[in-house]
Structure 1
């Protein structure tokens, strides 16, 4: 989408929230639905709109909001499964990560700075960490240790098996990180993470020092329990990067710079670790210009290097530019990506390894991030604003997820 057509006053969060603000498409679909009345199965674009929750009417099968665009997706979708609202009650849910040993899903509530635990057996929600420093992305590494991106403390941390917390990255080139956003574990054990500036705000994390790019007027102050934390006074937004943490030495090295890939966000590896996918998102706080190109990019992983960075998918659908955020890969190499956009288009889009969109999952709002979980890793968990949706699928997530 050309920069001139992007509404500069709209935040990335409102774009990702998608459906509810898409008046034009909503009006079109409701008029179309009115012609047929209730003859058609209820979907997220029907009038009245589809209902959710335990008291909702029984949905038809196959689910009308699971759209097969290519025969390849028909083998991945399970025709006897409905999209289900599993829980609603967060602030802004992010970073879903499945713990195989504990049989639970970990969730970040970036705005409320809480981590939740969703139990597989009964769907119960409990608090996993009462204060998470505005954590965003999470993943369990190859040894089952939790690795989290913390906006508030601008760092990536790992919870060791003995319960201790190890800081994997909090600075680069002598300067603090911005707000580590999403991360992925390579088969060699290295941690790759993105560091845009979306958490450099009072709402989602830790604002820049007065005069910094994301706090130019100096009116925001970092405070904890009413006290200004002076050790954060020098933190200022730097250039965005994609970083790699070496599994042997712990060295934090830049894989991509802002010039090579603007505003990196979601990141994932192919099942064999030979390809890395990175989303180039919109502008972050205090950033001039239009930000990234909103596309998914792919690069070849050769040892500890990334080579041959190239476009993979443009996230265009029916003439609309979707807003990609988080993504995961299944065992066949298909990329499942959360997408914001107009109602009827937002939800999840699925690309095959060749970059062809093969399927969609329609939801009433955009999806910030997703993962595969359950004992067989065949349950898709989707974070959408304050809600968690699930869908049984006929594939498995590539571990770890």
Structure 2
């Protein structure tokens, strides 16, 4: 794909996952740190965060970008639950919330063991209705993406919210800075990024994988893939089990066995991505100041 500088092929399989004649498009520029894209197919729109500007933005194919919510409480990651409601991680309030159909906001989690959460970062919903989120300290390190504060939790954890009781429990507590997370298409594997190298070059810059049982217990933790440019932040999986991760130089695509298949190069540092569009074959990419998109030959998994 020498004539198409957006693509860097590391394995021949990557050629069947991208479309060489589909070019990277910049849909919007004007953010300070774009994050948390989530596609609403029933509304034909994408929501995404502009964290430092305290905005949740809406992109529509015909209408472009408008403000969905401001102030946003420094919202970072977003997803949808199985009823189609928006679930968000708020740095400013250090909580996970759900926006109801009528627009009201329900708090799902803001503390654990009687102490405030750090700054919930990214979130995903399993098909059983359980909500899983990461809780690094990025939102309390300064006043730029939240409010500077000392952490109250002894570790930076991955949590699960029970769909029946609403109880929040730690499922993993040995991360430096847990960040993006997503399930495999069959939901038997949970992938979680550790981006602690953002502040310590000796720290992890990898994505870990865990086996998940029906009760939501994790086991067999192992390193799935290392990021060779920058750190892993948000990521998504396609229906074949390939993992598409953010990185400093763009999107890195890994096969289910952890092999780096290729990269989609992006001019700005990528924070997150999601599959969207009517056929779930369009990658929406949040990268520093901008929202980008590119059509691919893969279909996104886990869309409610």
TM-score, scaled to structure 2: 0.95
Matching of residue 96 in structure 1 with residue 37 in structure 2: yes
Relative distance call for 1:84 and 1:352 in structure 2 (3 A) is same
What does 1:134-283 align with in structure 2 at a 5 Å threshold?
Answer: 134-200=74-140, 201-208=142-149, 212=150, 236=152, 238-257=154-173, 260-282=174-196
Give the 3-state SS of the residue equivalent to 1:74 in structure 2.
helix
1:339 paired residue number: 247
Larger Rg: 1
- Cα distance per residue 1:173-225 (max 9 Å; x no partner): 100000000111112111110000000021101221xxx36xxxxxxxxxxxx
Deviation at 1:63, TM superposition (A): 2.4
Matching of residue 110 in structure 1 with residue 51 in structure 2: yes
Alpha-carbon separation, structure 1, partners of 2:234 and 2:63: 23
What does 1:46-85 align with in structure 2 at a 5 Å threshold?
Answer: 63-85=4-26
Alpha-carbon separation, structure 2, partners of 1:281 and 1:81: 30
Structure 1: 5+ residue stretches without partners: 1-40, 42-61, 214-235, 341-345
Structure 2: 5+ residue stretches without partners: none
1:309 paired residue number: 221
What does 1:119-138 align with in structure 2 at a 5 Å threshold?
Answer: 119-120=60-61, 122=62, 124-138=64-78
**Counterpart contact for 2:122–2:134, Cα < 8 Å:** yes
**Counterpart contact for 2:238–2:298, Cα < 8 Å:** yes
Deviation at 1:73, TM superposition (A): 1.3
Deviation at 1:171, TM superposition (A): 0.1
Alpha-carbon separation, structure 2, partners of 1:283 and 1:351: 20
**Counterpart contact for 2:197–2:231, Cα < 8 Å:** no
1:16 paired residue number: none
1:34 paired residue number: none
- Cα distance per residue 1:334-381 (max 9 Å; x no partner): 0000001xxxxx111000100000010111222000001111111101
Deviation at 1:162, TM superposition (A): 2.8
Alpha-carbon separation, structure 2, partners of 1:115 and 1:388: 13
TM-score, scaled to structure 1: 0.72
Give the 3-state SS of the residue equivalent to 2:247 in structure 1.
strand
1:12 paired residue number: none
Relative distance call for 1:392 and 1:283 in structure 2 (3 A) is closer
Deviation at 1:296, TM superposition (A): 0.6
What does 1:359-398 align with in structure 2 at a 5 Å threshold?
Answer: 359-398=262-301
Give the 3-state SS of the residue equivalent to 2:19 in structure 1.
coil
Alpha-carbon separation, structure 2, partners of 1:159 and 1:238: 29
Deviation at 1:109, TM superposition (A): 0.6
1:9 paired residue number: none
- Cα distance per residue 1:263-319 (max 9 Å; x no partner): 10110110111000001112678xxx7674111100001121011100100113xxx
**Counterpart contact for 2:198–2:231, Cα < 8 Å:** no
Deviation at 1:64, TM superposition (A): 2.0
Alpha-carbon separation, structure 2, partners of 1:252 and 1:291: 31
Alpha-carbon separation, structure 2, partners of 1:123 and 1:73: 33
- Cα distance per residue 1:321-346 (max 9 Å; x no partner): 53111100011110000001xxxxx1
Give the 3-state SS of the residue equivalent to 2:232 in structure 1.
strand
User: What do you get for the CA RMSD once the two structures are aligned?
Assistant: 1.8
Structure number having the greater strand percentage: 2
Relative distance call for 1:332 and 1:180 in structure 2 (3 A) is same
**Counterpart contact for 1:185–1:400, Cα < 8 Å:** no
Deviation at 1:163, TM superposition (A): 2.3
**Counterpart contact for 1:178–1:238, Cα < 8 Å:** no
Deviation at 1:79, TM superposition (A): 2.3
